[in-house]
Amino acid sequence: MKDIIDELEKRRDNARLGGGRARIDAQHAKGKLTARERIELLMDEGSFEEFDMYVEHRCTDFGMEKTKVPGDGVVTGWGTINGRVVYVFAKDFTVMGGSLSETHAKKITKIQDMALKNRAPIVGVFDAGGARIQEGVDALGGYGEVFQRNVLASGVIPQISVIMGPCAGGDVYSPAMTDFIFMVKDTSYMFVTGPDVVKTVTNENVTAEELGGAKVHTTKSSIADKAYENDLEALLQMRRLMDFLPSSNKAGVPVIPTHDSPDRLDHSLDTIIPDNPNKPYDIKELILKVVDEADFFEIQEAFAKNIVTGFARMEGSTVGIVANQPMVLAGVLDSDASRKAARFVRFCDCFDIPILTFVDVPGFLPGTAQEYGGLIKHGAKLLFAFAEATVPKVTVITRKAYGGAYDVMSSKHIRGDVNYAWPTAEIAVMGAKGAAEILYRSELSDPVKIQTRIDEYKKRFANPFVAAERGYIDEVITPSATRKRLCRALNMLRNKTLENPWKKHDNIPL
Amino acid sequence: MRQAEALESAYGKDRDPPMFKKILIANRGEIACRVIKSARKMGIKTVAVYSDADRDALHVEMADEAVHIGPAPANQSYLLMDKIIAACKATGAEAVHPGYGFLSEREAFPVELQKNGIVFIGPNPGAIAAMGDKIESKKAAAAAKVSTVPGYMGEIKDAKHAVEIANQIGYPVMIKASAGGGGKGMRIAYDAKEAAEGFELARSEAKSSFGDDRCFVEKFIENPRHIEIQVLGDKHGNVVYLGERECSIQRRNQKVLEEAPSPLLDEKTRKAMGEQAVALSKAVGYDSAGTVEFVAGQDRSFYFLEMNTRLQVEHPVTELVTGVDLVEQMIRVAAGEKLPFKQSDIKLKGWAVESRVYAEDPFRNFLPSIGRLVRYRPPAEGSKDGVTVRNDTGVFEGGEISMYYDPMIAKLVTHAPTREEAIDAQAAALDAFYIDGIQHNVPFVSAMMQHPRWRSGKISTGFIKEEYPEGFTPRAPEGKDLITLAAVAGTIDHLGNTRRRDITDQMSGHSVNFAKRRIVRIGSAEVELEVLGAIPGPYYVSILDGDGQPTKTMEITSEWWPGEPVWFGTVDGADVAVQVRPISNGMTLSYRGIQAPTYVYTQREAELAALMPVKLAADMSKFLLCPMPGLVKAVNVSEGQEVKAGDNLAIVEAMKMENILKAERDGKVKKVAAKPGDSLAVDAVILEFA
């Protein structure tokens, strides 16, 4: 019996070495960790249980029968993050470059099936060279199987992708269909076709970093939600993220007990709105001062900075936050900001995460670039997302809520549950100057007259009370009491029940 | 004396004249608040004045009444006598306290007030005229047989004239605005080129700050110490001195640390300086609080520098060692009261140390920083076990440090029986002084409190330049401070780990533990430790040796909770305050001048962390970056131009100071990215070099 158990340990040790010492060293030399090291960092110490450690490929073409490595280029299994079950697969670059074979894909789909069936999140760690060319269509078939499962799991369990090396060709579409993509600076890149093919087809000279590095995908394409300095930072931050996310669409948000009082007042918020309406302020200061323990996990921090999205907690329970950022483009809604926020709102709605919206929006961004770029439909995405969401929605208008953008930003008209305004709020069709200049076009030549008109308009509409008179604002609150009010509102909405009419699915303007 | 005589004849010699019912404070910021406090204590109503920029300022909030006096720039508000007088009339204020700066040393101000029947809480105009003007005061001092520094007392016509005089006196020389003070309009020159440049700059700063562009030149004494005598006179011919203050720790001639008494002086020198100061004051009929400034050599030789005919910024250290409320006495003598004490009553008790907390970046050569005080949590004030903590401030959390005025945020003063205890108390108070939103010099003054040379008292006005020639860097964590920080970091991490294990939705039947053994990385230092204990403590932190054996175990108590800016607690019974600023996967801890990114890892995390590549910051040496938020006044070079190291490249104005940006090495300008009039953020590109 003892030798049999010894034999098991030997086989395990052999499998754990992956592609061997030399390849592990090469991986480290590139500043990257191995698949198993990454999983160690992600999971609670000692909690990871590996599945399919001994799986080998079955390909016999091109001499492949001679190069078999247990595990076949991907490490799969499950473990816990702060005691909560999480499934994981991590591509092992030390084994045939982490390339995807039929059996490699089967290992992934097995884990995907378990995660979906058992309603727990799944994390994919990518660091691989794409399809295993020797296997041809078997590899492509494998990809398809993975894709199908990504789609079925979407909106049921959180799916997270962490790109920690190359991710190209067929490999990119699985992450693309997951909820969040994170990258590591300098060591990861993602693209459908690499620099060589680009050169052949379009004659462009471009490096992998320029084509699909972390910077490109977090600032330009918005493919990735955040980039980290290195593997360690990325994986420890994934642990932090998982603490915010529900295990499934039925599980409800996780709660971490806190001592941060729901009644905490912050008097410095009473001075956050500058006297000059054209002067910006940092909406993140408001977010950090309102949420539990100033802990805010921002999503898409580097893209469309005119809107801020991310997770925080109120009285220990996760909330999603959407906020216009006056510091960037005055917090205007443009195509990028609308798409970014729409996707975030839909994630929250999928997973039963209440949404807090902070509004300071001067409207939609005008111009040919925006209109040609499809602002109408991109803007509609955010409107659609907020309007269809059935989770608790609490809104605070801090300053400007102008025009159609007022409607879009989780207004009462699209089923905002509780809509507060600060006394500094201005809810109007547009700013006083613009409005007066249209209403009194004939008086434009007389600066004194038009200024009187502007002042009149300002007095009448640049406040929250016109909207409050109509019930579009439930209450005007003092800024310093915002946390207290929001905590109360969220508690009041804890048992909210609202269902949209039955449909196969909606038809959001994609 | 006229006023006193009038008061005496009206109320009789033996009765105290009536106290003011209402006074106006013609100032802003901490000093306005300071004056209001004393007035309130005396039962006097107060009137604040404010500019557009100070609408929501603390002094406006604290005063019984407030009057708006104009736009933000001081020369359109706080410097306008008419507005102040109108405000007095509108509110019925009987007297005006000018604070420091602004109108405090304008001879014309008390004259105008008097014309309008308003009392000036300060010296009579004659004394201001004699002493307020730096040139006149030198003559007066010489006449009163006060030892003086060689220099040129006349008015200087132009830069050429300034160079001639400087050549005669011999370098180094100091060029100084006649109406100046507080380091503004002041330049030191080591050669003719610098003398010419310095004169122009001093003159233009003098004009913009004081509305008076006259400057003078004098010999600059090397390795000097700045020691000043506080005097207090009344309208009955009495003058006393209230000991000295040493203010040698300065940067760019702006005081940073002050203390009373001076570690340099002995009783004999103190008496000699005090008596000269009193003789000088009496010679000019000085009748309020004033300060006679001396420059002192390390051999205790001293020379008269100038007299400030106002309340000094650093007056609190004198108040704490003498127990005299200087503002109260200024108000009383202005109302005609006699000084309630004689020279023999003045006893110096204990030691007081003051840090000026400025909105300036110690890591960028102390350049000013402006903006919103996102967080402002000063240490608790009060007296306990013979130690007093006092914080004079004019700001509040959520307030604004404006570009229009002095960048001082607060004056933190500690008093204790000995110098060492006062310094330790200051260090502890600074640990708890938490400011965010702007850059500030708390890390610097904190580090100073640990500096062996400062602690030894062997200081000079060149201290900062000599000790930090390459600029300021935080203290390295080591020794006892490193262990304390590691223990605090370990406890913070332990608290986080413990409560994250309380998250809902966990897999049942299998309790999840976490490793108690941790590796703490603080900057480049590393400490291995083990933390035990449950919320709410106490926690027990054992420092481990290389074999994992505990070498020392500490008991930690703290009620700190994540999100709170300052960790307050005890480490083995001693009070500790550490500032905590979260960063990705860690925190930046600030303590005793140490400011270091801190990470707490499990052993495995630490092993893998060691494999992570070290990334170098992007090379910005090819760019001239704007060192502070400010206005571009001039760009002195054009594209394609060759420049030599030391050449002037551009001038950026911030906080009313013109900052010349010089080339650090020879090179060629590739691109000019900013133009005069541009308002730039910190780190904005001004020039790019080829």
Q: Is the pLDDT of residue B11 over 70?
A: no
Contact residues on chain A for B535, CB-CB shorter than 8 A: none
Q: Is the pLDDT of residue B2 over 60?
A: no
Query: How far is B294 from B494, CA to CA, in rounded Å?
Result: 54
Query: How far is A505 from A388, CA to CA, in rounded Å?
Result: 11
Query: How far is B239 from B285, CA to CA, in rounded Å?
Result: 9
Matching residue, tokens 């921090």 = A301
Half-sphere CA count of B261, side-chain side, radius 13 A: 20
Give the residue numbers in B contacting A (CB under 8 Å), as ranges. Answer: 55-56, 372-375, 396-400, 499-507, 510-512, 514-515, 561-563, 582, 584-585, 602, 604-605, 608-609, 611-613, 615
Q: Least CB-CB distance to A295: which of B514, B563, B613?
A: B563
Element housing B291 (H / E): strand B289-296
Q: How much is the pLDDT for B4? A: 47
Percent pLDDT > 70 in chain A is 100
Query: How far is B659 from B675, CA to CA, in rounded Å?
Result: 15
Whether residues A240 and A151 fall in one domain: yes
Query: How far is A12 from A452, CA to CA, in rounded Å?
Result: 83
In chain B, the domains with their CATH numbers are 3-121 (3.40.50.20), 150-220 (3.30.1490.20), 225-467 (3.30.470.20), 479-609 (3.30.700.30), 623-689 (2.40.50.100)
CB contact under 8 A, A251 and B505: yes
Packing angle, helices A482-492 and A283-290, rounded to 10: 60
Strands (E) in A13-99, as ranges, are 49-51, 74-81, 84-91
Element housing B519 (H / E): strand B517-522
Question: Stretch B34-44: mean pLDDT, rounded?
Answer: 97
Residues with Cβ within 8 Å of B199's Cβ and at least 6 positions away in sequence, in order, are B156, B158, B159, B162, B163, B175, B187, B215
Take residue A324 and report the two structure tokens written for it.
């216009």
Whether residues A235 and A142 fall in one domain: yes
Contact residues on chain B for A41, CB-CB shorter than 8 A: 604-605, 608
Residue B437, min C-alpha distance to chain A (Å) = 10
Whether residues A284 and A203 fall in one domain: no
Whether residues A358 and A380 fall in one domain: yes
Amino acid in the structure at residue A167: C
Classify residue A498: in a domain, yes or no: no
CB contact under 8 A, B585 and A82: no
Q: Is the pLDDT of residue A12 over 70?
A: yes
Q: How much is the pLDDT for A18? A: 84
Query: How far is A145 from A122, CA to CA, in rounded Å?
Result: 16
Q: Grade residue B1 by pLDDT with cuts at 50, 70 and 90.
A: very low
CB contact under 8 A, A82 and B612: no
List, for residues B99-132, the tens digit of each pLDDT value: 999 999 999 999 999 999 999 999 999 999 888 7
CB B654 within 8 A of CB B367: yes
Q: Which residue of B has its CA nearest to A30?
A: B613
Residue A189: phi and psi, rounded to 5, are: -155, 155
Q: Is the pLDDT of residue B3 over 60?
A: no
Q: How much is the pLDDT for B652? A: 82
CB A506 within 8 A of CB A346: no
Q: Least CB-CB distance to A236: which of B512, B562, B585?
A: B585
Q: Average pLDDT, whole number, for chain A?
A: 94
CB B67 within 8 A of CB B48: yes
Q: Is A20 assigned a catalytic role? A: no
Answer with the residue of higher pLDDT: A179 or B507. A179
Q: Is the pLDDT of residue A268 over 60?
A: yes
Question: Stretch B526-536: mean pLDDT, rounded?
Answer: 94
Whether residues A212 and A319 fall in one domain: no
Q: Which residue of B has its CA nearest to A245?
A: B505
Cis check for the bond before B73: say yes or no (omega within 30 of 0).
no
Query: How far is A247 from A119, CA to CA, in rounded Å?
Result: 6
Classify residue A262: in a domain, yes or no: no
3-class DSSP assignment, residue B479: helix
CB B549 within 8 A of CB B560: no
Element housing A201 (H / E): helix A195-202
Residue A85, min C-alpha distance to chain B (Å) = 6
Q: Which of B172, B152, B160, B155 is nearest to B206 (CA)?
A: B155
Half-sphere CA count of B568, side-chain side, radius 13 A: 12
Whether residues A300 and A209 fall in one domain: no
Distances (CA, A) of B438 to A46, A229, A475, A496: 44, 26, 34, 42
How many other β-carbons are positioned within 10 Å of the β-carbon of residue B676? 11
Classify residue A234: in a domain, yes or no: yes
CB contact under 8 A, B584 and A228: yes
Q: How much is the pLDDT for A319? A: 98
Whether residues A239 and A286 fall in one domain: no
What is the count of residue pairs from A and B with beta carbons less than 8 Å apart? Answer: 116
Q: How much is the pLDDT for B588? A: 97
Query: Do the bridges between strand A166-168 and strand A189-191 make them parallel or antiparallel, or are there none, so unpaired?
Result: parallel
Q: Which of A436, A437, A422, A392 is nearest to A410 (CA)?
A: A392
Query: How far is B524 from B450, CA to CA, in rounded Å?
Result: 20
Classify residue A159: in a domain, yes or no: yes
Q: Grade residue B619 by pLDDT with cuts at 50, 70 and 90.
A: low
Q: Average pLDDT, whole number, for chain B?
A: 90
**What residues of B are annotated to the active site?**
306
Between A298-312, A428-442, B258-272, B512-526, the lowest mean confidence (pLDDT) is in A428-442
CB contact under 8 A, A269 and B561: no
Amino acid in the structure at residue B255: K
Q: How much is the pLDDT for B10? A: 47
The sign of the dihedral angle between the CA atoms of B127, B128, B132, B134 is negative
Answer with the residue of higher pLDDT: A241 or B181. A241
CB contact under 8 A, B375 and A268: yes
Q: Is the pLDDT of residue B263 over 60?
A: yes
Query: How far is B641 from B667, CA to CA, in rounded Å?
Result: 9
Question: Stretch A458-487: mean pLDDT, rounded?
Answer: 94
Q: Grade residue B182 by pLDDT with cuts at 50, 70 and 90.
A: low
Q: What residue numbers bound the domain in which A450 lies?
A: 431-462
CB contact under 8 A, A44 and B512: yes
Query: How far is A291 from A248, CA to CA, in rounded Å?
Result: 23
Instruction: Spot the catalytic one: A98, A169, A363, A403.
Output: A169
Classify residue A506: in a domain, yes or no: no
Half-sphere CA count of B448, side-chain side, radius 13 A: 29
Q: Is the pLDDT of residue B656 over 80?
A: no
CB A116 within 8 A of CB A80: no
Query: How far is A393 from A410, CA to CA, in rounded Å?
Result: 7
Q: Which residue of A has its CA nearest to B614?
A: A31
Residue B368, min C-alpha distance to chain A (Å) = 20
Q: Least CB-CB distance to A40: which of B500, B604, B613?
A: B604
Contact residues on chain A for B502, CB-CB shorter than 8 A: 256-257
Q: How much is the pLDDT for B171? A: 85
Q: How much is the pLDDT for B204? A: 83
CB contact under 8 A, B55 and A275: yes
Q: How much is the pLDDT for A232? A: 97
Classify residue A296: in a domain, yes or no: yes
Question: Stretch B668-686: mean pLDDT, rounded?
Answer: 84
Query: Do the bridges between strand A418-421 and strand A393-402 make them parallel or antiparallel, or are there none, so unpaired?
Result: parallel
Residue at which a domain ends, from A177, A212, A244: A244
Classify residue A504: in a domain, yes or no: no
Which ranges in A96-194 belong to alpha helices (H)?
102-117, 137-153, 173-176
Whether residues A274 and A360 fall in one domain: yes
Residue A398, min C-alpha distance to chain B (Å) = 16
Contact residues on chain B for A243, CB-CB shorter than 8 A: 500, 503
Between B118-127, B247-256, B654-663, the lowest mean confidence (pLDDT) is in B654-663
3-class DSSP assignment, residue B642: strand
Residue B378, min C-alpha distance to chain A (Å) = 15
Classify residue A260: in a domain, yes or no: no
CB contact under 8 A, A256 and B503: yes
Whether residues A38 and A182 fall in one domain: yes
Query: How far is B605 from B585, CA to CA, in rounded Å?
Result: 12
Task: State the distance between the two ends of chain B, measured CA to CA, in whole angstroms.
Answer: 69
Q: Least CB-CB distance to B584: which of A84, A237, A254?
A: A237
Whether residues A330 and A467 fall in one domain: yes
Buried/exposed code over A255-284 (b: 16+ C-beta within 10 A; e: otherwise): ebebbbebeeebebbbbbbeeebeeebbbb
Answer with the residue of higher pLDDT: A66 or B417. B417
CA B663 to chain centre: 29
Whether residues A86 and A188 fall in one domain: yes
Q: Which of B63, B96, B56 is nearest to B78 (CA)?
A: B96
Q: How much is the pLDDT for A219? A: 94
Task: State the distance between the two ends of chain A, measured CA to CA, in whole angstroms.
Answer: 61
DSSP letter, residue B129: I
Cis check for the bond before B538: say yes or no (omega within 30 of 0).
yes
Query: How far is A126 from A136, CA to CA, in rounded Å?
Result: 21
Contact residues on chain A for B608, CB-CB shorter than 8 A: 33, 37, 40-41, 231-232
Q: How much is the pLDDT for B183? A: 65
Q: How much is the pLDDT for B153? A: 67
Q: How much is the pLDDT for B655? A: 58
List, for residues A182-195, the tens digit of each pLDDT value: 999 999 999 999 99
Contact residues on chain B for A47, CB-CB shorter than 8 A: 512
Whether residues A197 and A336 fall in one domain: no
Q: Least CB-CB distance to A230: which of B507, B605, B612?
A: B612
CB A88 within 8 A of CB A123: yes
CB B65 within 8 A of CB B91: yes
Q: Is A404 assigned a catalytic role? A: yes
Q: Grade residue B366 by pLDDT with cuts at 50, 70 and 90.
A: confident
Instruction: Spot the catalytic one: A405, A428, A462, A467.
Output: A405
List, for residues A116-125, the tens digit of each pLDDT value: 999 999 999 9
Counting Cβ atoms within 10 Å, is residue A207 exposed (0-12), middle (13-18) or buried (19+)?
A: exposed
CB contact under 8 A, B602 and A271: no
Question: Stretch B511-533: mean pLDDT, rounded?
Answer: 91
The sign of the dihedral angle between the CA atoms of B484, B486, B488, B490 is negative
Question: How many domains are there within chain A?
Answer: 3
Q: How much is the pLDDT for B58? A: 96
A188: CATH:
3.90.226.10
Question: Stretch B210-237: mean pLDDT, rounded?
Answer: 89
Q: Least CB-CB distance to A233: which of B515, B585, B604?
A: B585
Take residue A137 and report the two structure tokens written for it.
């269509």
Q: Grade residue A278 by pLDDT with cuts at 50, 70 and 90.
A: confident
Residues in chain A: 510
